[in-house]
Amino acid sequence: MALLATESGLTKAEILSSVRGYAQRYAPGGDNANLERQFERDKDDIRELGVPLETIEPLGEPGDNHNLRYRIPKGAYDLPEDVRFSSEEVALLGLAAMAWREGSLSAESRRALVKLRALGISADEPVLGYAPRLRLRDSAFEPLTQAIDRRQLVRFDYLKPGEARARERQVIPLALVQYDGRWHLSAEEVATGEIKTFLLRRIVGKVTSGRPAPDRAGDHTARALAGLEAVWERGVAELEVRAGSDAALRLAHRRGTEEVAPGILRVHHVDLAILADELAGFGPEVLVVSPPELRDAVRERLERTVADHA
């Protein structure tokens, strides 16, 4: 608050001697080593919260750290004049920030909450009674997020269903989207220029960032989600399920599921291999009516299970 209130900034000595929390323990002309160490830690904390803390060198004295002045430029900290939030919007933004609890996104969400609280708008409290959580179980998420933010090329090994060995891919990462409960990367393949979607759970090993990537304009998130939705619409399977079984209950509640005949469900999917994994887990409770490639994939998984466990 002290730094927001000054245009020209304050020196370390001025902060330690006048700001509450320091001033009570400040010894003019004495040993303030412990206080100075606390000051350095507090500076790091302020920056970690997303507050733009600037240092200004004294005119004509470059490199003079003793007389550095610190300030928080009000224009860089405040929201633009034309950006305003209602109490309901602040509550929803706070709820979104609370949802992230892993990786750099948790740090970003903390910074966002600090700025929201600085607006002085009270949130619609009843909304905050809910506490959603988004978890990241894919180790590739963090490095891919950073690469997108920094506009860098990335390399990773990708293992497609049915292949015994992973193949290296070099791509321009465009967007990370969550669809059908799984994280996907939309990216431009460097070798072909094609836009492809990669399932993060199939990225094996380390994601390596490389040289700067060329800029690619457009709403890549919207395009990736629209593409996945189109795949979901086309991916249709018909399943015979045992009445009253776990399979019948779970599959009936999937998005878009229809009962086309007694005991026959029509379900949508984005990835045939993932659906085959799921259906094999139901054992005899479900029988694939169509398509044949899905029936073959489920049978192959069941036969492999029998062989593995004798």
Residue 288 domain-assigned (yes or no): yes
Residue 4 domain-assigned (yes or no): no
What range does the domain containing 260 cover? 235-309
Residue 255 domain-assigned (yes or no): yes
Residue 3 domain-assigned (yes or no): no
241 & 226 share domain: no
What's the whole-model pTM score? Answer: 0.65
pLDDT band at 128 (very low <50, low <70, confident <90, very high): low
Q: For residues 245-272, give the mean pLDDT.
A: 95
Q: What's the token pair of residue 214?
A: 């060329």
**Beta-bridge mates of residue 100:** 134
Specify the number of domains making up the chain: 4
Residue 189 domain-assigned (yes or no): yes
Residue 289 domain-assigned (yes or no): yes
* Spatial CB neighbours of 197, under 8 Å, sequence gap ≥ 6: 184, 185, 186, 187, 224, 227, 228
Predicted confidence (pLDDT) per residue in 21-66, tens digit: 898 988 888 888 899 899 989 988 888 777 888 888 877 666 666 7
Q: What is the DSSP letter of 4?
A: T
Cβ(113)–Cβ(51) below 8 Å? no
